[in-house]
A = this chain, B = another copy of it.
Amino acid sequence: MSRVWNFSAGPAMLPESVLRQAAEDMLDWHGCGMGVMEMSHRGKDYMAIHAQATADLRELLDVPDNYKVLFLQGGGIGENAIIPMNLIGRGAVADFVITGSWSKKSEKEARKYGKTNIAFSTEACGYAGVPPMAEWRLSDDPSYVYACTNETVMGVEFPFVADLATVGRGQVPMVADMSSHILSRPVDVSKYGLIYAGAQKNIGPAGVTLVIIREDLLGHALPICPTAFDYKIVADHDSMYNTPPTYSIYIAGLVFQWLKAQGGLAEIERKNIAKAELLYGCIDASGLYESRVEKSCRSRMNVPFYLKDEALNEAFLEGAKAAGLVQLKGHKTVGGMRASLYNAMPLAGVQALVDYMREFERTRG
């Protein structure tokens, strides 16, 4: 078996030790005579797995006691509807800060459920940066303010934490889609009303969505909100009102334990900074490659880059694949290349990519 360096934006690389543990447990978890996929979600074995995953996540993110941790289904696109169905009824309008194709899509979906206001959009300048809070044109009393704090396609990451406690009456909840950078760095959860993330980037397999919500935001669902997606009902039943995606939560739990063994989020952030600096350093020092994102807002997780001679794209990708470097093609809407450097990608993988990029430039650029 020869593993590749997988730079996919998601579903994405997982730590090898997590996969080995999953393979080992497949037919018989901890001697109980069944695999995790086969366990009733009401049985004590699965309940223990679920509780441990929740506790480990709370510890990693230092989630305050007045927040609930929920596991849902439907991914980020599902949440684009589920969030307004749960929160937009709190006020007259929801505000959106648009910094990429994902947040643009979120705002459009929310219009189905209430009034929206675009507080700022960077679309006209090619989604190259993040507007400072002083430039956000917020409504007087919005239900919530939405942002996608790391745009996976554009590779734009918020360089600051939007602190809405300083705005107006200071009671507006910030809602953040952190799908592609959650758990990559410490985060002050108390600054947010709601944080959510599809699992398939830094958490685990596709098919489970993490929601962290402040308790006072529960109980405001619109009458048309499906029961399975009413946060209050999900919270009241510890994410087991319906059958949760048990195996995906188990894998997420193994990832959380791996993260703790790595030293937690402060340590993983240190590694992620080193990985990102290595790759952006290579791009900036090159005459062939370029980044199109403002330096202050470059994502540590998703690094889009372009070959100045686009005629070389195919040769670049073919050579990369031959060197065991895969999933480097940029999103179809923007072209070019993209390397996603999630937690499970080791520095050695980024070093292999950088070595290849330098060699390609030397011989073909």
Contact = CB atoms under 8 A, between A and B. Distances in A.
A3 B28 CA distance: 7
Tallying the copies of this chain within the complex gives 2
Interface residues of A, number: 71
Interface string A248-279: 10010000000000000000000000000000
A76 interface: yes
A74 B77 contact: no
A27 B2 CA distance: 9
A6 B27 contact: no
B1 A27 contact: yes
A1 to B, nearest CB: 4
A318 to B, nearest CB: 14
Interface in A1-23: 1-4, 6, 8-14, 16, 19-20, 22-23
Contact of A324 (B6, B33, B251): B33
B34 A247 contact: no
Interface string A314-345: 00000000001011000000000000000000
A207 B248 contact: yes
Contacts of A123: none
Interface stretch (A155-163, A224-232, A301-309, A349-357): A224-232
